[in-house]
Structure 1
Amino acid sequence: MREIEASLRGGRIGLTTRAKFQAVALALREERARVKADETVTESKRGEQLKRLDGIATILAKTAVRDAGLLSLLDDEAEVLPEAREVKRDMLRSLGIEPVVEEAPAAEEAAAEAKHRVVPQSVISRQLANPFLAPDFSAARPRQPRTTRLATWELLGPLLRSFERASAGASACMDLPEREVRRTPQGRELMPHQAQVVAAAAAGHRTFLLADEPGLGKTAQALLAAEAAEAYPLLVVVPNVVKTNWAREAGLWTPRRTATVIHGDGESIDGFADIIIVNYEVLDRHVGWLGNFGLRGMVVDEAHFIKNKSSQRSRNVLELSARIRARMMRPLLMALTGTPLINDIEDFLAIWQFLGWIDEKKPLPDLMHELDETGLTPADPGFYPAARQCVVDMGIVRRRKIDVAADIPARRIADLPVELDGPAGRSIRAAERDLARRMVARYETALAARDSAEEVVGIDRELVDQVARWELKDAANAKSGDNVFTMMRKIGQAKAELAADYAAQLARSAGKVVFFAKHVDVMDAAEATFAQQGVRYSSIRGDQTSKVRQQNIDAFVNDPGVSVIVCSLTAAGVGINLQVASNVVLAELSWTAAEQTQAIDRSHRIGQTEPVTAWRIIAAQTIDARIAELIDGKAGLAATALDGAEVQLGASADVQHAALVALLVDALSADPVHAG
C-alpha cells in the first residue's frame, strides 16, 4: 500500500498501479477469510489480526475514492486482471509462500452470465421465419500474419505518449473527402463536416472514433454512415437516458430503416428491425443473441463510458465488437464521444480495442502495418508524431465548433456573484474557516513531527499537497461533519432560490431557460420558487422513466407556456437537444470543465440560431468562487491529445484537491509564522 500511495502522489494511475491495488485487495480478502477460519488462535489474537487487516482495508477504501477504476476493482464481481494475479504471486513468493495454482474462472463466469441472458421471442420468430437465410460470415477469412520488425517492441505505451506529446496545432482528424451534396434523400440538410464522415463511410472507411465537440451532430453522422455502408443490422449501445432520442433521430435521418429499442428483457422489441438500440445497463442480458444476430455494424454512444475495461459494461461492448469482427471482414464500428478523455490518456485504450485497432497487449495487424511503414521504432525521436498520425488515420475524427460550424452562434459564460446573507451565509463562511483551521492544525502537526534538522523556509508546498489529499480522503469517507463536499452542497442550497429567481427573470424577458443543478434538494427548491412565481416548468431527473423524461422535454420544446426546464447535471448533461433556449443557468458548479461544457452544449449545438449565454451563479467570498476559477484554469486532456494545444497534460483535473490546496495556502499565507 505504501508503494501504491507513492504512485498516486505522482498523479498517474496506470495499469501497474491498478494491478498492485487489486493484488493487495485479493490478498487482504483471502487473509481475512483465513484468520476467521483459523481455530488455532485465541479470540483476542484473532481480534488483533482482524483489526490490523481492517486498517489496510480502510487505506484501500480511502485510496479507491480517488479513481472510479480503482473503486471498481474492490467489487466482489470485478474481473481479476492478469497482471494482478502475477503481482499477487510475486508477493507470496517473496514471503516464501508458494502460491496455489488458481483455476481459470472463465467457465464459472460464463455459466453465471448465461443464467441472466435472454432471447426475446421476436428474435426467435425471425430465426424461424428465415431458416435458410442465416447470416453469411464466410467473408471473415483469417488474415495471414504479417512479419514486422516492430513485433518485439512494446508499443501501446509509446502510442499513448505520442498523444501526450502532441505539438501545438497538430491535427487529430483523419483526411476526409469533400462532399458537395448536403441533403439526404429525405431532404434533410447536412452540414459540410457531417457530410464528410458520411462520404468517408461511402468510400469504404469502416472504423471511426467520432470525437467532434458536443453539439456537432454525431448522432446523424453515425446513422447516415451506417446507411452509406449498408451496415445493417446495426447495433447502437447508448446511455439509458438517450434511448428514446436515438429512436427519434433514426426516424428522422433514416426513415426507410426500422428501429427498435430494447427495454429490460426485450419482450417488446421488433426482431426484424434494421437498427437495434440498447442501453449499457441491460446489454449483458442480450450479449448472447446479439453476438449471433449477424450484425454488420455497431455504434457506441458516449464511448467514454467504456474506459474502465474491467467493468461489466466495457466487457460486454468489447465482447460484441470482437464477435462481429471475427465473423465479418470489415464491419462498421463507430465510437461517439465529445469527451474521449476524462481522467487519463489511458482512457483511449478501451475505445481503440472496441474499434479493433489494438488488443490487450499490442496493435492489431492493420495498425501494426501502418506503424511498420513509418520505418521508425520507439527509440527514434521521429516515431511519436508519426505513430500518432498512424492512429489518427485509422479513423479519429475531431472537429471543433469554432472551425467547422461558423453558422452556430457564439457562446459565452457569464458569472453572477451573489452574496449569501443571513444565517445560511454565516454558517457557510464559518464552516469554511473551520475547515481551513483544521487543515492548518494538521499541517503544523505533520511539520512538527519531522526531523528537527530539516529546515523549512516559508510554506512547504509538498506538505500542503499531502494535507489536502488527507482531507479529501477523510471527506469522501465521512458520514457527518463539515467538509468540502458538504460545504458545496450547502452553498448550492443557499443559492437555489437566488438562481431560480434570476432564471425566472430571464424567462420573462428573454424566453426559455435551461436551469442546471447537481443536487435534488436544490432542484426542489428551485421548482418551488418557480411555482410560487407562476412560472411553468418541466423537469429532467435521474429517477424518471424514458417516457416521462421525453414528455417533459417535449413540453419544454413545444409548449410556449413552459418557460423553464429544471435539469440534473448528471441526468441531463448528455444526449438531449434544447436549442429552443439560448440562456442556461448553472445554479451549482460541476467539479469538471467537461461536465459544465456538456451541460451548456445542450443548447449550444446545431439548430441554435441565437448566441448562447451560460449564467454561472457564484457565491462570492466563499470556496465556490475559488472552484469557478479552478474549473476555468484546468485544461482538459483533449486540449493536448486531440486539439494540439500547448498546455501541461495532467492525469486528472482534480479541482477538489486544488480547491483544498488553495484554501490551505491562503490560510497559511495569512499567518506571518508560515508566510515567512
Structure 2
Amino acid sequence: MRGSQDVISVLARAVRRIEGAVAGGRVTPAVRTEFQAAALLAREQHARIRADGTGSAAQLQRLDGLATTLARTAVRDPRLLALLAADAVVSEAARSLARDMFRTGGVEPAAVEVAPAEAVAVTAPAPAPERRVVPQSVVSRQLANPFLAPDYSAVRDEPARPHRLAGWELLEPLLRSFERAGGGAPACMELPAPSSVRVPAGHQLMPHQAQLVGAAADGHRTFLLADEPGLGKTAQALLAAEVAGAYPLLVVVPNVVKTNWAREAARWIPHRGATVIHGDGESIDGFADVVVVNYEVLDRHVGWIGDFGFRGMVVDEAHFIKNTASQRSRHVLELSARIRSRGPAPLLMALTGTPLINDIDDFRAIWRFLGWIDETKPLDELMDSLEDDGLSPADQGFYFAARQSVIDLGIVRRRKVDVAADIPARRVADLPVELDERAGRSLRAAERDLARRMVTRYETALANRTSGVVVEGVDHGLVRQVARWEQKDASSSKAGENVFTMMRHIGRAKAGLAADYAAQLARSAGKVVFFAKHVDVMDAAEETFTRLGVRFSSIRGDQTPTVRQANIDAFVGDPEVAVAVCSLTAAGVGLNLQVASDIVLAELSWTAAEQTQAIDRCHRIGQTEPVTAWRIIAAQTIDARIAALIDSKAGLAARALDGSEEEVGSSVDVQLEALVGLLTEALMEAQVGVQTGSAPGPDLLAGVDVL
C-alpha cells in the first residue's frame, strides 16, 4: 500500500511539471516524453491497484483526479494529443522514464509490465452514418482519456430464472391493470420519509422532492417521475443523480427547455459541469458531468453518446417517445439499452406530467426505456415480482397485484393538491430559451446598434460640455440623461431600432418556442392560458398550435363582445379546447379563466402589475389548485436584463410566495434602467478595450455582444 501511495506522489509531481510547462507554452521534447510516461504510469498503476487490491478507494480517487488533469492538459496542446492517437508510437525514452518513475515510487520495475503502444491508443470510432457527427471536444476526451476509459467490468451475465408465467401474454394485462384501478388506488411507489438532503446554500428542497432523492440514495435506480408540472421534477432528477453517483449523466429534453436544464444544473449541483449540445455540438464541453441534448438533434449524436460511458440517463417530457416507430423513440431506447448493458445499476429516469390513466399504451416505450419490459414481455425484475405474487391473468386479483408490481419498480406521481402545503399558492417560474441561431444573431446585432448609437450620443455630449467638470471613468449622470433622450425618441418613433421594437422582435422570435411549451403543458397538465402583448406573436403561436394539432380559443381586443364571450366559453366549457391565446392588454383584466392553473407568459410586461393581473385570471376565488406562471425568457438578450429589472422593482419573491401586488416603480423606470444598463456596459467595454489597446474607442462595440 505504501508503494501505491509513493507512486501516486511521483505521478502528481510529474503532472504538476507538465501542467506548468503547457501553461507557460514550453512543451519541449522532454515534456512530451514525460507526458507519455505519466500517461503510461497512470494507466498501469490504476490497473495494478484494481487487480491486487493494494490501494484504497481514496488512492484510486486521487489517481483518477491526476489522470483527468493530464487529459485536460493534453487537450490544450495538439502535440500532446497526438501522442495519444491510435497510431502513436510509445518511445523507448518514455518506457524507460515510466520504469524509473515506478522505481522512485518504491515499486520494483520487474513486477511491472508497462503497456505497449497499442494498449494505450484509443480505438478510432467506426464510420458514422450520413447524418452522424462527433464533436471535436468529444474526440479530444476520447484521445486524452485512454487510461480513464469507462469500466464495464462489474457487468455480469446471470442465468435467467425459470418463470411460471413464461407462456402467458402479460404486457396487455399489465397495461390494462392501470385502467381497471378504482378511485383512490395508489399511483406512487412507497417512498422514504423526507430526510436531510445536502443542497447548495440558499436552496431548500420541498418534502416531496426530498422523498424521491432519498429513494435514490437508498439504492432505487429506475423512476417514472410523473409529478404534475410545477413540482420540481428537474431538481429531483439532478439531485437523484448526485446521490446515485450517476455521472456522466445524459439528459434528453425538448428544445424549449434545454437551456433551463443547464441553468438548473448550475443551481442545484454547481460543482458539476453541465454542457448543452446545439446543432453539431461544436461548442460542447467533452469533460462535463451533465450532457443535455434535445430530441431534434439526437440522431446526429447517438453514435458517440452510446460510447461515452454514461452512468445515468434522464428523459424529460417522456411522452415524446410514446411512438416506438418514431426515430426519436428508437434512439432513446437504443441508448437506454446500451447504458443498461454496461451497468452496473445505471440511473434511468423518465419525467412526464401525463396522468397515468390516460393513453396507457403510450407507456410501453417509457417502460422499455426504464428496462421494465421489452417488445414482448416483462424483463427479469418485473417478471420476478409477478412470479412472487403467485397469480396469473386468469385470477381475479392479478390486475391489482400486477399494477402494484409496476408501481413498485419506480412510478412516482404527486399532484399539486396533494402537496399544496409544500408549494406557494402562486408562483412565477422563469424558463430561459435559446433562440434560433439566425434570430439570436440578428437581435444581438440590433442591441449593438442601439448601444453604438447611445455611445455616440454620450461622447458627443461629453465633447460639447462647457461646464469644465471632469469625471473619471463613466459619467453616470450623463449616462442617465442620454438614456432619457433615447427613451423619449423611442416613444415618439424618432429612433430606428429601439428598446420597444427590440422587445417586439424578441417576442416574435420566441413565439414558437413558447407555444411549443404551452402545448406540452396542455398535454400533460390540462388547460393552459397563453399570454402575449403583440398580435403578430399571437398569430405565430396560433400557427404553432394548429401545426401541433392543439385546439385553442383566441381572446383579442379587436373582437366583438359576442365573439369574445363565445371564445371564452369554448375554453372554459369544451374539454377539447386546450389553450386560450390571450392578449395581455385585452384579456389581462376582467376574465375568469380559473379552469386552468398553468399560464405561459410569452412576452414580458413592462410592470409587475400587468403581469400579476394576467396571472389573476386563473389565480382567483374558486381556484382549487396552485397556479404556476411560466415566464419565457430569451437567453443572452435584453429580454433577460428586463426580466431582472422587473423583478428588482416589484419584488418577485413576494409575489411568488404570498401573492403581494406591491409595485415599486413604473414601466418608465424599467425602460429607463434597461437603457442605462445597456449604455453603461457598452462604455465600460469600450474603456477596457482602449486601455488594453484592443480597439479604438467605441468602435470596439462592432464585434462584441453587449449582453
TM-score (norm: length of structure 2): 0.48
TM-score (norm: length of structure 1): 0.50
Larger radius of gyration: 2
